[in-house]
Every structure is written in structure tokens, then in C-alpha cells.
Copies of this chain bind each other. A is one copy, B any other.
Amino acid sequence: MKRFGFFAAMLLSAFVAEAQQAIFERHDTRSPQFNDDGTVTLRIKAPEAKKVMVVGDCIERGHGELRQQDGVWSYTTAQLPAELYSYRFYVDGVETQDAGNIERSRDVRSFMSTFIVSKEEGDKGWLYQNHNVEHGDVAHVWYDSPQLGLKRRMSIYTPPGYDKGKAYPVLYLLHGAGGDEEAWLTLGRTAQIMDNLIALGKAKPMIVVMPNGNASDDAGPLETGIRNKNWPKASYEESFSDVMNYVKKHYKTKKGADNTAICGLSMGGYHTFRISMLNPGTFGYMGLFSAAIRLGGRNQPKSVEQQFADNPEATAQMKALFDAKPRLYWIAIGKDDFLFQQNVELRSYLDKMQYPYEYYENGGGHIWRNWRIYLSMFAQRLF
């Protein structure tokens, strides 16, 4: 370790000097601490605080109060099953992340500290971690979208061995409202899920394309965030061929519906619903995760069945979609999701029309925990 020792010593001396980068900053408050009994202790040093709260999905009932000793506040969770957890502190009402924890995720405008609990290989936490397996590459590319009038940024995962392989099937993976082309990579853990499922032999090597679903933007807010000055003539759904054209031109893709899948969460589920209707026979696999189900316009009070009844074009599109005999139309949603009823109505319509689909329902609401689960399940069904 001599080389690290050399630089560490050299740079720790910088720590006391002025006008140097504080690159070896230390936090002596250990957090998160993984206890032998399966609980996790979170800590924050705040000697002058009167009250410290923690909010997160690792906390029973979603929030809890920390206890103080010698200026350090702590909270020990219940025993936690394998999962990726998010939390943040409120110190006398002021939001802060855990200074002792380097892992943080942004979700739209919200920052949380995160940690992963894993009990054994293949469990949910394990799937979301990086392991010593073969890794796929992730590229952030700019493609031309003539239909939206912008150069636009998207993220593309290529599987391990991509350079050596001949051609790969493609999954288009769409984010929710307010998200961007980073969303599925950060809290969605897509690169880790794909690397690990492929390493376990549970998913086929595939290209995963994560575009930006906000039609007026060229990229997420940390990249350009430049908006099309005019509301684009095409909707994102209509313009989706721009994404597919770029991928077909620049990547080694297997052709045909049997090698093409699309799925998305929330607004991305809506996009999946609509894009697959606009392109019957294009996608052999569709996944609607906590999807918003609407045919557009001011039809909020109408049932999904009534919306189709009022919309012969959409009805014909849906018929064409199922006439093409897709391999899988997969609907997944949590019982507590605020979009649950729309999905009940969609299933009712599909049942009535005798369009085949599969349905997965679990607990929880409109949350990343569920979207990671749905992606992990859906990816194993593909190709």
C-alpha cells in the first residue's frame, strides 16, 4: 500500500493548509451501521439540536425520532429484509443527508441517502448491488429527434460481451413524470439489475435504452435542460421512432417484435401503453409498471372502457396490437398505488376484449421499490 500511503500522507498535510481541496474529509460518526441482528443504526452528530427526525422507507411508519447521547443522535431500524432503502434526516426541521454515507440518490428534485441490505446471492438487495461479475457499459448519447426539434440525450446499457456478440435484443425502458434519462440508472439500479440477472443466467444479454420522456426537454436538469421553445408538433409517443431509429443505426440490434420490448413506470407506463398502440407488431413484450392509463384529452371522469368506446382509432390500434400476437402484455401495480383503479379498468377492458395479458400485484404504492421489482421480474421474461 506504499503508493496510497505516500499520497494520503501528502494530501492529509494539505488538509491543514488553506486554499486546498479538502479531499480527505472524514466523518467520525459511523452511519449507517449494519448490526449483527439485521437492524441498521443511523447516526448524525448535532450537539445543539433539540429534535432530530428521520424519514425513509427503512423506518417503521415512514418516520421516527432519533435519540441523543453525547451530541450524537441515533436511530436503530427494525430488522430489515433485503432491499435498497432511502432516508434523510431533519435536524430541528432542516433537511439534511447523512454526512457519513457516500451513497445518495436524486429523484427529480429530492435527495436521499441510501443503503442496501442483502442476505444472500440473488435476493433483492444483491440484485441492486455491484458485484464482481461481468459488467455492461453505460453510454450517455445524444440523438437527433427531428419530430421534437431537439438533439436529445439518452442512456444506453450494453451487456457484457457486447463487443464480441453479433446482435442483441432491445428493451426500451421509460421513466416517470419529472424523471429523466438518469432515473432508471440511479434509484432504478438498471445496470446492476441487468449485470446481475445476466450473470445468474436469469436474463438474456440485451441492450437497454433509457430515453428522456419529457417531450419538450433535450435532457435532464443537470445536463442542458434546454426546452423546445415551441411546444413540439409531435407528442413523445409519436416521436418515439426517432429513438428507435438511432438505436437501430448505432447498435447491433436483433430485429423484429420477438427481439424488441418496451416498459416503463407511471408516465413511462402510459408511454408504453400508447407507444405500443401506435406501433402494433413492433414490440413483442410490453410492461406497464404502475402505469397511468388514459387515452389523452380531458377524459379524467370516464372509465377506460368508456374512453375506448368513444375512441374508434384507439380501439382499432389496440386490436391491431393484439392481432399481432405479442408474446407478453404485462401489467404490474401495487395495491396502494393511486393509479390502481385505472389498472383495474384496463384489465377489465382487456378481459372483455379477450386480449391476453399477465398481471402482477404486490403491496406498496407508487414507489421505486416496486419499479425495481417489476423491472427485475419483467427482464427475466424477455427474449
A225 within 8 A of B: yes
In the complex, the answer to whether A365 meets B224 with C-beta atoms within 8 Å is no
Q: Is the CB of A153 within 8 A of B177?
A: no
Instruction: Say yes or no: B137 contacts A139, CB within 8 Å.
Output: yes
A130 and B223 form a contact (CB under 8 A):
yes
82-136 of chain A: CB within 8 A of chain B? 91-97, 99, 102-104, 106-111, 130-132, 134-136
Known: A13-B338, A23-B178. 8 other contacts (CB 8 A): A7-B270, A10-B292, A10-B339, A19-B336, A20-B337, A95-B99, A104-B111, A130-B224
Q: Tell me if A163 is interfacial: C-beta within 8 Å of chain B.
A: yes
Interface-lining segment among A32-40, A202-210, A213-221, A255-263: A213-221
> Least Cβ distance of A255 to chain B in Å?
20
Residues on A facing B (Cβ under 8 Å):
1, 3-4, 6-8, 10-11, 13-14, 17-27, 44-50, 62, 91-97, 99, 102-104, 106-111, 130-132, 134-142, 151, 153, 160, 163, 176-179, 214-216, 218-219, 221-226, 231, 235-236, 250, 266-267, 270, 292, 294, 296, 334, 336-339, 364-368
Q: Give the Cβ gap from A156 to chain B, nearest Cβ, in Å.
A: 9
Task: Let me know if A3 and B215 touch, CB within 8 A.
Answer: yes
Partner of A107, one of B23, B137, B216, B296: B23
Whether the pair B137, A366 counts as a contact (CB closer than 8 A) is no
Residue numbers in B under 8 Å from A94 (CB-CB) = 44-46, 49, 91, 94, 96
Smallest CB separation, A118 vs chain B (Å): 14
Q: A14 is contacted by which of B97, B110, B366 (Cβ under 8 Å)?
A: B366
Distance from A381 Cβ to chain B, minimum over Cβ atoms (Å): 24
- Taking a contact as CB atoms under 8 Å apart, the answer to whether A20 and B140 are in contact is no
Determine chain A's interface SS by DSSP, over half rule: loop
Copies of this protein, total: 2
B residues in contact with A142, CB < 8 Å: 134-137, 160
Q: How many angstroms between the C-alpha atoms of A163 and B26 in the bound complex?
A: 44
Flag if A19 contacts B138 (CB, 8 Å).
no
Instruction: Look across to chain B and name the residue whose beta carbon is closest to the beta carbon of A214.
Output: B4
Q: Is the CB of B338 within 8 A of A27?
A: no
With a CB–CB cut-off of 8 A, which chain B residues contact A3? 215, 235-236
Do A224 and B132 have beta carbons less than 8 Å apart? yes
The answer to whether A22 and B110 have CB atoms under 8 Å apart is yes
CB distance from A382 to the nearest CB of B (A): 23
B223 touches A7 (CB 8 A): no
Q: How far is the CA of A14 from the CA of B27 in the complex (A)?
A: 36
- 20 A-B residue pairings within 8 Å (CB atoms): A4-B214, A7-B292, A11-B178, A18-B336, A19-B365, A20-B338, A21-B365, A23-B107, A23-B108, A24-B178, A25-B110, A48-B92, A95-B99, A97-B111, A131-B224, A132-B224, A135-B151, A137-B141, A138-B140, A163-B250
Task: Tell whether, in the assembled complex, residue A367 and residue B23 are in contact, meaning their CB atoms are under 8 Å apart.
Answer: no
Q: A94-B44, A102-B106 are in contact. Are A20 and B141 (CB under 8 A)?
A: no
* Shortest Cβ distance from A363 into B: residue: B19
CA distance A3 to B177 in the complex (A): 10
Docked pose: A281 CA to B90 CA in angstroms: 57
Closest 3 CB pairs of A and B: A19-B365, A96-B96, A130-B224
Specify which chain B residues have a CB less than 8 angstroms from the CB of A270 in the assembled complex: 7
Within the complex, the shortest CB–CB distance from A292 to chain B, in Å, comes to 6
